[in-house]
């Protein structure tokens, strides 16, 4: 089974916070290529995995990666935010740990046809679920300038978003915005990009914003975590790995609300006062882990 250069982030930390040596069900809400799940199954013969993902290609790859443990694995193409509406998917009384890894995988980034990377020329797609109709190209072609500017400001935390939206509107009228490379060059013009060491390319934030909008990645995340915690039995460990400040902020506030009880009884105990970050050694081996933040809580 080809591994596509896939390295799951914060593996040891994730398994420690999940207390993944306990027998029972571990729910991987964004299984991707199954890196974390593989480690749980390999180390714990009493573990069973229920894996969810919107990306059909990732699920197929995960099925191959976990094939030797197939009797202990169930995979579903489901948006994790909607899984609580399908109560028969998960035997909740047996759940010991829940993992939500919000990152995009190398498998997705390194496939130019998916359109996630500004470093690879491909179509402006960016869909996690290829069954859906909304693509990055559709957004760039149809959104009015003010809405585009709002997307880039809200989800990319960018400046000069009106100038960026205006340039996009001009280029699309001329038919000059067809590929990821076209968009990258446009962004470089607007932001007068000059490469500098340790400086983030502005296209990274633009592509992030579009990906979030295409997939509605932040929609309902905090509500899902609150509903999830209420569903899990006492002692269940909840681990969330995020990769940008917008996600981390939502996770942090959701855990705080659950821990405070908001006038009622607390639902969880927060296990991470501050987010857990990758070690310098992990970042050196897997540079894409550098922005990862792990937060964990335990159902009371």
pLDDT one-digit tens code per residue, 152-194: 999 999 999 999 999 999 999 999 999 999 999 999 999 999 9
| CA 296-18-155 angle, 5° bins | 40
Count up the domains in the chain and report the number. Answer: 2
Residues 211 and 241 in one domain: no
Q: Give the CATH number for residue 222.
A: 3.40.50.150
pLDDT tens per residue, range 187-213: 999 999 998 887 899 999 999 999 999
Own/partner long-range contacts of 146-151 (Cβ < 8 Å, ≥24 apart): 151/209, 151/210, 151/213
Q: In what order do the strands lie in the sheet with 237-242?
A: 73-76, 47-52, 24-28, 95-101, 237-242, 293-299, 268-270
Looking at the whole model, is its pTM more than 0.75?
yes
d(CA 45, CA 241): 25
**Is the residue at 87 inside a domain?**
yes
81: which 2 tokens?
């935010």
Domain of 256, in residue numbers = 11-102+218-299
**Is the residue at 2 inside a domain?**
no
Name the pLDDT band for 6 (thresholds 50, 70, 90): low
Decide: 299 and 234 in contact? Cβ < 8 Å. Answer: yes
Share the mean pLDDT of the chain.
Answer: 95
272: which 2 tokens?
């991470």
Q: Which residues contact 94 (CB under 8 A, 6 or more apart)?
A: 24, 25, 48
From 163, 185, 215, the end of a domain falls on 215
Residues 210 and 243 in one domain: no
Res 3 pLDDT > 60: no
**Is the residue at 3 inside a domain?**
no
**Is the residue at 1 inside a domain?**
no
**Is the residue at 203 inside a domain?**
yes
Q: Give the CATH number for residue 186.
A: 1.10.150.170
**Is the residue at 4 inside a domain?**
no
Distance of CA 177 to the CA centre of its chain: 27
Residues 73 and 97 in one domain: yes
Name the pLDDT band for 7 (thresholds 50, 70, 90): confident
């Amino acid at each position: 089974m080809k591994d596509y250069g896939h390295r799951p982030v914060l593996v040891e930390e994730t398994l420690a916070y999940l207390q993944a040596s306990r027998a029972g069900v571990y729910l991987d809400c964004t299984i991707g290529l199954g890196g974390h799940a593989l480690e749980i199954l390999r180390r714990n013969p009493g573990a069973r995995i229920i894996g969810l993902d919107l990306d059909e290609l990732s699920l197929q790859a995960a099925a191959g990666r976990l094939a030797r443990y197939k009797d202990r694995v169930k995979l579903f193409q489901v948006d994790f935010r909607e899984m609580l509406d399908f109560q028969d998917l998960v035997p909740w009384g047996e759940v010991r740990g829940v993992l939500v890894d919000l990152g995009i995988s190398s498998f997705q980034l390194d496939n130019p046809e998916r359109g996630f990377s500004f470093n690879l020329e491909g179509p402006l797609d960016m869909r996690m679920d290829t069954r859906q109709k909304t693509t990055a190209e559709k957004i760039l072609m149809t959104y009015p300038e003010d809405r585009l500017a709002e997307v880039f400001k809200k989800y990319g935390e960018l400046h000069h978003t009106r100038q960026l939206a205006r340039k996009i509107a001009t280029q699309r009228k001329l038919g000059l915005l067809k590929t990821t490379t076209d968009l990258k060059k446009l962004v470089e013009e607007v932001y007068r990009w000059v490469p500098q060491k340790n400086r983030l390319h502005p296209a990274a934030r633009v592509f992030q914003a579009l990906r979030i909008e295409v997939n509605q990645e932040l929609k309902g995340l905090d509500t899902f975590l609150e509903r999830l915690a209420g569903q899990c039995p006492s002692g269940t460990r909840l681990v969330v790995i995020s990769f940008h400040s917008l996600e981390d902020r939502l996770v942090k506030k959701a855990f705080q609300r659950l821990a405070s009880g908001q006038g009622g009884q607390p639902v969880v105990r927060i296990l991470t006062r501050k987010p857990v970050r990758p070690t310098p050694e992990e970042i050196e081996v897997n540079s894409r882990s550098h922005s990862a933040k792990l937060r964990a809580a335990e159902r009371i």
